[in-house]
Amino acid sequence: MQEITIDYALRATWQSVARMYNEEAKKFGSTMAVGFALLSIDPKKGTPSTSLGPKMGMEATSLSRILKSMEEKGLIERRPNPDDGRGVLVYLTPFGLEKRKDSKDVVLRFNEVVREQLSDQQLNAFFEVMETINQVISEKKIYKNESTTN
């Protein structure tokens, strides 16, 4: 536990990014999570709320509350999906579209600045490591307590 662990580096770095994103979002009256949601919604057509969780890297169930608050703030509208009685289609309002641009700027700038400091090799390795971690977890290579078939 002496050296820096992978999980620590990942956690500390992400939290650092999250604090910065929230700080920036606050400048235009938003939050990081709302910004990510806005960016995950197609600005031109209705987006099935089902697709938002994966696009934001979170569980689908975690979205309900945030979509509700976004609707209350007038950022989005939720309309029934004509093709699926269970589903919902999310639409950006003009106000939401505006805030989406603000969020997009922040995200683009961050990614751009970071990319400038990295070589292709480093960047590729980074994405490979992310993928490896996700695989290790989804394949339950670590804790096989439950069952090997799952």
Residues that bind its own copies (CB under 8 A): 1, 4-21, 24, 27, 36, 39, 56-59, 104, 106-111, 113-115, 117-118, 121-130, 132-138, 141-143, 145
Q: For residues 98 and 136, which CB has a smaller minimum distance to its own copies in the complex? A: 136
Instruction: Residue 95: name its binding partner from DNA, its own copies, none (Cβ under 5 to 8 Å by kind).
Output: none
Among the listed residues 6, 10, 42, 68, the single contact to DNA using CB under 7 A: 68
Question: Of the candidates 18, 56, 39, which has an alpha carbon nearest to the alpha carbon of residue 102?
Answer: 39
What is the DSSP annotation of 9-67?
Answer: HHHHHHHHHHHHHHHHHHHTT--HHHHHHHHHS-SSS-EEHHHHHHHHTS-GGGHHHHH
Contact in structure between 140 and 134 (CB atoms under 8 Å): no
Q: Which residues bind DNA (CB under 7 A)?
A: 15, 18-19, 22-23, 31-34, 48-50, 58-69, 78, 81, 84-88
